[in-house]
Structure 1
Amino acid sequence: MWSERYEALSSYERGEFRRLANYLLSHTYMVRYQYQPSQQMTLPNADYQMATRLFPVLRDYFTVTGWQLEKDDNYGIMSLINIYDHNRLRIDRFTTLFLYTCRLIYEEQREQASSFHMVKTDTQTVVEKMRMLGLLDKGKTTQKERIEAQRTLGHYNIIQKMESVAWSNDGNELLILPSILSIISNQGINDMMLELEEMRINGSDEAGQEQEDSE
């Protein structure tokens, strides 16, 4: 049982267990590697290493409480899922479309991705692709939308900004992390493209109707 495994931990390990359990509950995803702006390089994530060491007891604990902790050793992803489909985050439309677009960029560039399974891009590239796909209302977006979308996805370790400063109004250099694969699968890519095309067509139809109404 998880309690027996927990009792066998040292005092330090118990403290790390509590800290990492709370981190996973808050952030959902954890990745093996993180970019360190101060050193301008990607380094192993010490939290991921400790969570891997404590994985059996963390997994068993979360199972008892109705959560499923998974670890993908190939891509270096740890994810926490509620088996009752509770505690889901509801994000706004722009953030959802920003996420979808990041997934498309990841899919297009994953073969050229680094050995850390990260894809480098920037805010402007994502927004321009959204515009190209017809996902922006009247082809425009606000600074607030961009910052909030990136801040949300950054909190859940889906993207990471490469600068050590706060999220910028002018945009940031970004890393799309492999955790995005856990959110939108390869099958999800196909479904997503159909949905995006439908949204684009509907948006064009609505714009055309508005023009007719104004004539």
Structure 2
Amino acid sequence: MDLSDINDFTAKEKEMFTSVCNHLLGQTFLLRTIYQPDGSTVNNPEYNFLALRSETVKSYLSLLGWELHQDEYNGYFYVINNLDANRLILGSKPTAILLALRLIYDENSERVGLFQDVLCEVKGVLEKLVTDFGVFRQKPNMDEFRRSMKLLEDHNIIKGLEGKYSDADCRFTILPTILTVVSAEKLNALVAKLRKEDESDEEADENAVD
């Protein structure tokens, strides 16, 4: 492990190094492109810096118990804590929302034939949760839904484009980082788990009525 080249960084490179590490530790993912307020995208200078200095950043993060990974094809870096610390634990409803987002992402990426950002509206997620997938038997609490979506945005899994997540017409994009968050194996396991929980809830309701 050699971090000596940090001493040779310019003041601007040291500033960029600090920013990159903090973004990775705080947001998990660092993407090749970033969204502007008008919905357009620009190249992310932090991604370009990390691509050039990945070995130095990887060595530094390893001292803190983090592993740096890159999905070059889909355009992002991400970190995993190998000490089983600082992990984000999601409740059942945020997990269900994440699952619905992955299903929507898969449906759209298969249609266009490649992996990319997938544009979506909140009403499409609600339809998947309530009607298509049956995770919720009724429309979820929208304040709770909004908080769950904002949490996912804070970790660079989705990005809001227009409106608030509590509004059905809110537009946002599902980022390709969701492929790492919910792998194909995790997707199948989560589907089975959520369906089992839903069946248990239905049985409990039936017993209560009896």
| TM score, norm. by length of structure 1 | 0.88
Q: 1:62-108, CA deviations, whole angstroms, 9 ceiling, x for partnerless residues? A: 11221101011011121111111101122333212111111111122
RMSD: 1.9
Distance 1:100 1:168, change over 3 A: closer
Is the aligned partner of 1:169 residue 2:166?
yes
CA contact (8 A) 1:135 1:199 kept: no
The residue that corresponds to 2:3 in the other structure is 3
The residue that corresponds to 1:151 in the other structure is 150
Q: Decide which of 179, 185, 188 is 2:186's aligned counterpart.
A: 188
Q: 1:160-213, CA deviations, whole angstroms, 9 ceiling, x for partnerless residues? A: 1112x6x3431421111111111111111221221222123223222322322x
The residue that corresponds to 1:105 in the other structure is 104
- Unpaired stretches in structure 1, ≥5 consecutive residues: none
The residue that corresponds to 1:54 in the other structure is 53
The residue that corresponds to 1:129 in the other structure is 128
Partner Cα distance (2:32, 2:185) in 1: 24
Partner Cα distance (1:22, 1:2) in 2: 20
The residue that corresponds to 2:26 in the other structure is 26
Q: Decide which of 198, 202, 206 is 2:200's aligned counterpart.
A: 202
Match of 1:60, as an amino acid?
Answer: S
Q: 1:6-57, CA deviations, whole angstroms, 9 ceiling, x for partnerless residues? A: 122222101110111111111111121233232x323322322222222121
Q: Secondary structure at the match of 1:170?
A: coil
Greater length-normalized contact order (CA 8 Å, ≥ 6 residues apart): 1
Match of 2:28, as an amino acid?
Answer: T
Distance 1:111 1:43, change over 3 A: farther
CA contact (8 A) 2:29 2:76 kept: yes
The residue that corresponds to 1:36 in the other structure is 36
Distance 1:43 1:116, change over 3 A: farther
Count matched residues: 208
Higher mean Cα deviation, 201-210 or 184-193? 201-210
| TM score, norm. by length of structure 2 | 0.90
Is the aligned partner of 1:72 residue 2:79?
no
Match of 2:192, as an amino acid?
Answer: L
CA contact (8 A) 1:33 1:116 kept: no
State, as a whole percentage, how many aligned pairs show the same letter: 27
Distance 1:10 1:99, change over 3 A: same
- Unpaired stretches in structure 2, ≥5 consecutive residues: none
Match of 1:13, as an amino acid?
Answer: E
Partner Cα distance (2:113, 2:157) in 1: 16
Partner Cα distance (1:174, 1:193) in 2: 24
Match of 1:52, as an amino acid?
Answer: A
